[in-house]
Amino acid sequence: MGLLQKLLLAWVASVSVLLALGFFATLVFVAIRGPVKPSNVIDHSKAVEQFNSTLASEGLAVFVDSMQVDRGILVVSVHNHWHMQAKQNRLQHAQNMWAIWAEICSPNDPDKARIWITDKNGNRVGGSGIAGGSMVWVID
């Protein structure tokens, strides 16, 4: 095999790797920010009100500072005392918040419901995973 053939094979291999990486990055971006159909939530303000009242009845509102819907994702900002809770407690609270949101915004396909949990500075401290809305996580 000549030098030109080796160079051509190396070039083809590197282009294939770059294309595969680009495809994977696109999949990750769509999974995170994904196309959220407007039909999932007709009126976000009413959905947030319903979420807030359900949180209060479940006793989870004490952790919430504010909330908003950004591109179909519920972004919940939590108070500083959220971080004082044990990780398992925070995880259960996050899972319960996601379950409430999923029931409101996407009852027929709950995994499409996404929630992000942020601190007061906007740092992401938990929320839905890339693979599905139900894959909820919190930081250590």
> Does 69 reside within a domain?
yes
Which range marks the domain in which residue 110 is found? 43-138
pLDDT of 29 > 70? The answer is no
Cβ contacts of 98 within 8 Å, gap of 6 or more: 113, 115, 127, 128, 133, 134, 136
The pLDDT of residue 56 is above 60: yes
Residues 3 and 61 grouped into a single domain = no
Inside any domain, residue 99: yes
14 shares its domain with 76: no
| 53, 21: one domain | no
Within this chain, do residues 61 and 98 fall inside the same structural domain, yes or no?
yes
Report pLDDT for 36: 47
Tally the domains of the chain: 2
Main-chain dihedrals φ then ψ at residue 73, nearest 5 degrees: -100, 130
In the DSSP assignment, the letter for residue 140 is -
CA–centroid distance for 2 within its chain: 50
Which SS3 state, helix, strand or coil, does residue 64 take? strand
Residue 109 per-residue DSSP state: S
pLDDT digits (tens, 9 = 90+) for 88-128: 999 999 999 999 999 998 899 999 999 999 999 999 999 99
Positive/negative CA dihedral, 43, 104, 62, 69: negative
63 shares its domain with 98: yes
CB 73 within 8 A of CB 116: yes
Q: What is the pLDDT of residue 118?
A: 95
Give which of 52, 38, 60 is closest to 106, Cα–Cα. Answer: 38
Between 36-45, 52-61, 104-113, the lowest mean confidence (pLDDT) is in: 36-45
Residue 2: pLDDT band by 50, 70, 90 thresholds?
A: confident
